């Protein structure tokens, strides 16, 4: 069924009433902007003359920013280093009205920094400064203890796994166990190499490359998509899987339900950085606001269509979301279909 204007008002109107905990790899995203008008005499590479820069919340911190912009209350739980980057992260979180009380400092790690150099509107190169070793037993326990403190006050958990070592198999197992016991909705933005650690979650949101890699079959056709989606759902014993498909939109697979395909809403594509963060944040916020899984996927798809038209990571407000959804109802773009579309 298509989403109606009345239902859009109900879902968007209920945003802002939930506490959502985000657990994962926290990053500082740095952007350097400039122009290229010559090639280096030292090597065949462009010389970028930097004219401006900005720093943004990245990784799990960007998920938290998306949750906050949707008027929900995020609790950001993760690990940073004792360094200048963590101080910058805390300052950026404060600007977004997000507490850093659940950030845990690990003296053996540096805070992840991803630096992107942009020239003439295009990314020239990215540099990463990070540690990717798994948490020590002691630090993992500190993370779990902090999670346990919040477990009775949250409506949902988002696992934001970028493979930087915070989401260990043992930590994930313990967190999923508590969420299952307390009926807390748990969603995972996966790292493909950890895919089968995410068992019995409420939602997992791989893109089509990650899903195909995990299942062992590249998604080229609709038949491939249906086999991969249904197969992963069964193997993971998950409640739902949302496979994002770029320009082809999204496909939702539910335990006991038919697949649902949702066309893309994007009118222009400028930068896909952080789009996955927007999808999972908006989906979980919508579920917390009373949406069913199909409605939540439609709402998340609309949010993604907004963010990929922006440079760098971006967040969507409830009013932007409402306008985008209403526009797509008017244009007939919200109709979802089962198999054989």
Task: Select from 267, 323, 268 the least CA-distant residue to 299.
Answer: 323
Query: From the CB of residue 275, how many other CB atoms can be counted at a distance below 10 Å?
Result: 22
CB 60 within 8 A of CB 84: no
| Residue 228, helix vs strand vs coil | helix
Burial class, 315, CB count within 10 angstroms (exposed 0-12 / middle 13-18 / buried 19+): buried
Handedness of CA 294, 308, 230, 202 (dihedral sign): negative
Choosing from 152, 271, 277, 292, the catalytic residue is 277
Cα 125 from Cα 133, distance rounded (Å): 24
Using the Cα atoms of residue 188, residue 192, residue 195 and residue 197 in order, give the sign of their dihedral: negative
Active-site annotation holds for 277: yes
* Cα 119 from Cα 132, distance rounded (Å): 29
Q: Supply the residues annotated as catalytic.
A: 277
């Amino acid at each position: 069924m298509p989403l109606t204007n009345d239902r859009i008002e109900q879902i968007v109107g209920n945003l802002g009433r939930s506490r959502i905990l985000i657990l994962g790899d926290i990053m500082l995203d740095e952007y350097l902007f400039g122009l290229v008008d010559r090639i280096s005499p030292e090597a065949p590479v462009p010389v970028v003359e930097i004219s401006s820069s900005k720093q943004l919340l990245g990784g799990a911190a960007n998920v938290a920013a998306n949750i906050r912009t949707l008027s929900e209350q995020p609790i950001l739980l993760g690990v940073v280093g004792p360094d200048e980057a963590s101080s910058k992260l805390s300052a950026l979180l404060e600007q977004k009205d997000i507490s850093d009380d659940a950030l845990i400092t690990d003296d053996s790690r540096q805070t992840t920094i991803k630096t992107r150099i942009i020239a003439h509107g295009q990314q020239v190169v990215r540099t990463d400064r990070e540690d990717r070793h798994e948490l020590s037993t002691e630090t993992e326990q500190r993370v779990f203890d902090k999670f346990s403190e919040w477990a009775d006050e949250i409506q949902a958990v988002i696992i934001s796994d970028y493979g930087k070592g915070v989401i260990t198999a043992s930590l994930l197992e313990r967190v999923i166990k508590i969420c299952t016991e307390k009926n807390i909705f748990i969603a995972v933005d996966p790292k493909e190499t950890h895919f089968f650690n995410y068992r019995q979650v409420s939602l997992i949101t791989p893109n089509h490359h990650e899903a195909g890699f995990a299942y062992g079959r590249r998604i080229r056709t609709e038949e491939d998509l249906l086999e991969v989606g249904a197969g992963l759902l069964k193997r993971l014993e998950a409640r739902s899987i949302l496979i994002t498909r770029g320009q082809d939109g999204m496909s939702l697979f539910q335990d006991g339900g038919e697949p649902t395909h949702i066309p893309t809403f994007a009118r222009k594509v400028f930068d896909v950085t952080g789009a996955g963060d927007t999808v999972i944040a908006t989906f979980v916020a919508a579920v917390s606001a009373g949406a069913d899984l199909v409605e939540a996927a439609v709402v998340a798809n609309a949010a993604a269509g907004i963010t990929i038209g922006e440079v760098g990571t971006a967040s969507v407000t409830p009013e932007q979301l409402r306008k985008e959804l209403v526009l797509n109802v008017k244009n007939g773009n919200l109709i979802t279909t089962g198999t054989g579309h």
